């Protein structure tokens, strides 16, 4: 009985990790894996002239366009992110903005 339980647990785990390969990453994950090296954990690292995301006042549509198409030293991520991941990252980097910035909107 115990063996069967362990076996079915392994099967379930196997299936769920297989499924995860196709799941869209959330904004924080995309940020850590793709953006953090230049923009830093808080958004203000500024490597290679990266814009400070804390003080950014860019609209969602402009932010989406920059991430998708790139600008200056920042490459285009359009082909590396799914539509959902692109939306997630735009929402996520807005959370890096300061409280005052959010309240003034
Ligand atoms: C190679 C370093 C690098 C990486 C990696 C990088 N960026 Fe950038 N980013 C830049 C640079 C440089 C600029 C300034 C571009 C310009 O205006 O010429 C910039 C600008 C931006 C801006 C515009 C902000 C403003 O107010 O002008 C946003 C938004 C942004 N990056 C988001 C991201 C996101 C999201 C990611 C990850 C998907 C990312 N960046 C990855 C270098 C980088």
DSSP string, 50-104: ---SSS----HHHHHHHHHH-BTTBPP-TTTS-HHHHHHHHHHHHTTS-HHHHHT
92 lines ligand 1 (CB under 6 A): no
CATH code, residues 24-103: 1.10.760.10
Number of the ligand 1 atom closest to the C-alpha atom of 53: 24
Task: From the CA of 34, give the closest atom in ligand 1.
Answer: 37
What's residue 57's pLDDT?
95
pTM of the model: 0.81
Which sequence spans correspond to the domains of the chain?
24-103
> What was the pLDDT predicted at 25?
97
* 47-77: pLDDT as tens digits: 999 999 999 999 999 999 999 999 999 999 9
Q: Measured between alpha carbons, how far is 42 from 93 in angstroms, rounded to an integer?
A: 9
d(CA 52, ligand 1 centre) in Å:
8
């Amino acid at each position: 009985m115990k063996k069967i339980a362990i076996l079915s647990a392994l099967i379930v785990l196997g299936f769920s990790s297989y499924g995860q390969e196709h799941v869209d990453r959330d904004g924080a994950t995309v940020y850590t894996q793709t953006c953090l090296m230049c923009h830093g954990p808080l958004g203000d690292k500024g490597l290679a002239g990266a814009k400070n995301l804390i003080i950014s006042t860019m609209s969602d549509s402009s932010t989406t366009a920059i991430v998708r198409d790139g600008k200056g030293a920042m490459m285009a991520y359009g082909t590396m992110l799914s539509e959902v991941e692109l939306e997630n990252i735009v929402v996520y980097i807005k959370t890096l903005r300061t409280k005052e910035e959010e309240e003034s909107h």
